[in-house]
Amino acid sequence: MYHHVSPRPGLVTCSPANFRAQMGWLASNGWKALSTAEFSDALANQVIPKKSVLITFDDGYLDNWVYAFPVLREFGLRATIFLITGWLGEGDIRPCAGHAGAPTVPSHKEAMGEAKEGRFDAAFLRWSEVEAMRASGVIDFHSHTHTHTRWDREISDPIARDTALANDLITSKKILMAKLGEASEHLCWPQGYFDERYQRVALASGFTHLYTTEHNVVRSGVELPRLPRIVAKDKGAAWFARRMAIYGNPILSTFYLALKKG
Ligand SMILES: [Zn+2]
C-alpha cells in the first residue's frame, strides 16, 4: 500500500529514489505485479502465484502520475490506484518528472489543505492523466468512494448513515463506469475504516473486493470483503528485500506479524 511518491517529505510518502529502488528490486528479482483482474482471478481460483504482488495507491494524488507511473512503466510493473471520484480534475495531462514544465507536487499536508478548500487540481489526478495511465496498460483504477467521507463520524442514525454511504459508493461506481467504461467491483475504505454495516452496504452496492488497512499478507482463502495490505515504507532496496523475504514466506510472516502485534 502506497499513497504518495514524491520528493516532498511527509506522512505516507515514499521518495522517488526509494520507490525506484523498491520497484527495481521487484523487477530484478522476478516478482510479478498483478493487474486487479489477475489478482481477483487468483483469489477466485484459490491459487496465488508465487512471487506476485498487488501494488496499490490510495487517493489518486498528482504525484502518482508525475513520479510513480514512469517508474512502473519502465519496470513493467502493474499497479492499482483507488480514486476519490469527486476529487479529479479536467484539463490536459501535465508533464511527468524529468520533462519540461513538470508540476511541483504538494506535500501530504499541503494536499490535505488543498482538498479541504476544494482545490483538488493542485494535488490530485486529472481524468486525462487517468486515461493515459489506463491506455498504457500499466494502471487499473478502482473506487475509493466519491467523497472520501467518514460517514460514521458525520451521521449517527444508522439507517441515514447506510444511505449516505450507499450513495457515496454508487456515485463513485457510476462515474468510473461513465469515464472508464468498466464497472469497478474493488473498493478501498477511506482511512481504512469499516464495520459490519459498512461491509453490508458495499456488498449491496455491487462491490465484491474490499481493501482495508489491516496489516497482513493476502493468502488463498482470504475473505474478499476484508483484504489486508502491507504498508510500504520510505526505505530503500535493502529494507524492501528483507521485508519481502519475510512476507513471501508463510511461516516467517505469521511469526513476524504476530510479534509485531504483540
Ligand atoms: Zn484515502
Residue boundaries of the structural domains of the chain: 4-236
pLDDT per position as a tens digit, 215-259? 999 998 999 999 999 999 999 999 999 999 999 888 889 888 888
Residue 137 neighbours by CB under 8 Å, 6+ apart: 78
Average pLDDT (52-76) is 98
> Distance from the CA of 189 to the center of ligand 1, in angstroms?
7
Cell numbers linked to 137: 496498460
pLDDT value of residue 261: 77
29 C-alpha to center of ligand 1: Å? 30
Q: What is the gyration radius of the CA atoms in the chain, in angstroms?
A: 18
Mean pLDDT of the chain: 96
Protein residues with C-beta less than 5 angstroms from the ion ligand 1: 58-59, 190
Give the Cβ contact number of residue 171 at 10 Å. 17
What does each C-alpha distance from 172 to 42, 56, 245 come to in angstroms? 25, 18, 37
Q: How far is the CA of 153 from the centre of ligand 1 (A)?
A: 15
Sheet architecture: strand order including 79-83: 56-59, 79-83, 139-143, 186-188, 209-215, 227-229
CA of 251 to the centre of ligand 1 (A): 31
CATH assignment of 4-236?
3.20.20.370
Residue 127 pLDDT grade (very low, low, confident, very high; cuts 50, 70, 90): very high
**Residue-level pLDDT at 262:** 65
For the residues 59-69, what does the mean pLDDT come to?
98
